[in-house]
Amino acid sequence: MKKLLIVLFVAGALSACSAIKDNSAESFASHHQTSVYKTGKTALPIPASAQDWEKYSVAKTSKLIDVPLREKKVYYFTPKFKLAKRPAKGGFYREILGKTADGNLVIQDFYQDSGTKQIDPAVVSVKNEKNSDSSAVENGILTFYSEDGKVSSFKQTDVARNEVVYGNYVDGTLVMTIETDLKEENVLTTFFYPNGKKMIQVHGSVFGGEEEYFDDDGKLLFSQLTNEFPKEIMESEEKYNKLIEKLSALDLKKVEILEKLGVLP
């Protein structure tokens, strides 16, 4: 299945990247203007460990089948996600595992060359039986694995609550989540420290929304929602400059995460 396209939520990233990499107080001030965009959302309790997410995903998706299929059905796809008549080197294949009580299909994709799972079982409508895009999974959990068996990303959709959460893991650790609604109109992006604490939260576009910066112990350092520095910071030029340097360093870490996820070159 085609992997999740988080690039949808980082429009303008390429044009802003070079500006953010200028690690200076002047650069920080000039490229972080306050907007009026607010989501009102807060980060969900998503496991910081990829192993913990896998346990959660497997437990949730192992009980999807209500009606097993009498005959096994398999579809083959090329590396470019095109339907194929036979196994394609570098591609993947899809097994139709069964049906849900309401008639939807339970599918699971596997890497063609290794046979390892590409996703955990997921639910799609009958019309999306051969659809290789991640958007085909309209409700529930969709967890992606790299070919070495490690969780790389997930999408969790709750239609009843009008919520969609995307998550990305690097080297087994949660680095970024995106919370939005079904129409993807309101977006809250969170970048994480290696210890699982939130580092930066962005309300709106990743490079154009209002940002909140946190220390690695969870303490709020600065919020563009209020656009005010603590009084003790403003009264000391040294403290102010140190804080600006720290915020700029966190911006660089944000860019590094996006680079690791393949969003930036």
Interval 161-220: pLDDT, tens: 999 999 999 999 999 999 999 988 889 999 999 999 999 999 987 777 899 999 999 999
Do 72 and 95 belong to one domain? yes
pLDDT of the residue at 191: 96
pLDDT mean over 63-71: 92
Do 89 and 128 belong to one domain? yes
Do 3 and 78 belong to one domain? no
Number of domains in the chain: 2
pLDDT bucket at 15, cuts 50 / 70 / 90: very low
Do 140 and 208 belong to one domain? no
Domain finish residue from 123, 151, 171: 171
Tens digits of residue pLDDT in 147-160: 999 999 999 999 99
Tens digits of residue pLDDT in 223-262: 988 877 777 787 888 888 999 999 999 999 999 999 999 8
Instruction: Tell me the CA end-to-end span of the chain in Å, nearest whole number.
Output: 23
Q: What does the mean pLDDT of the chain come to?
A: 84
pLDDT bucket at 44, cuts 50 / 70 / 90: low
**Structural domain range at position 14:** 1-46+173-265
Residue 126 CB neighbour total at 10 angstroms: 9
pLDDT bucket at 42, cuts 50 / 70 / 90: very low
pLDDT of the residue at 4: 60
**What six digits make up the tokens of 193?**
């420290």
pLDDT of the residue at 249: 96
Domain finish residue from 151, 171, 191: 171
pLDDT bucket at 26, cuts 50 / 70 / 90: very low
Do 102 and 178 belong to one domain? no
**What is this structure's pTM?**
0.83
Domain finish residue from 154, 171, 188: 171
Do 17 and 62 belong to one domain? no
Do 166 and 182 belong to one domain? no
DSSP the chain: -PPP-GGGG-TTHHHHHHHHTS-SHHHHHHT----S-----------SBHHHHHHHHHHHHTT--SEEEEEEEEEEE-TTS-EESS--TT-EEEEEEEE-TTSPEEEEEEETTT--BSB--EEE-GGGTT--SGGG--SEEEEEE-TTS-EEEEEEEETTTTEEEEEEEETTEEEEEEEE-TT--SEEEEEE-TTS-EEEEEESSTTTSEEEEE-TTS-EEEETTTT---HHHHT-HHHHHHHHHHHHHHHHHHHHHHHHTTS--
More confident residue, 6 or 148: 148
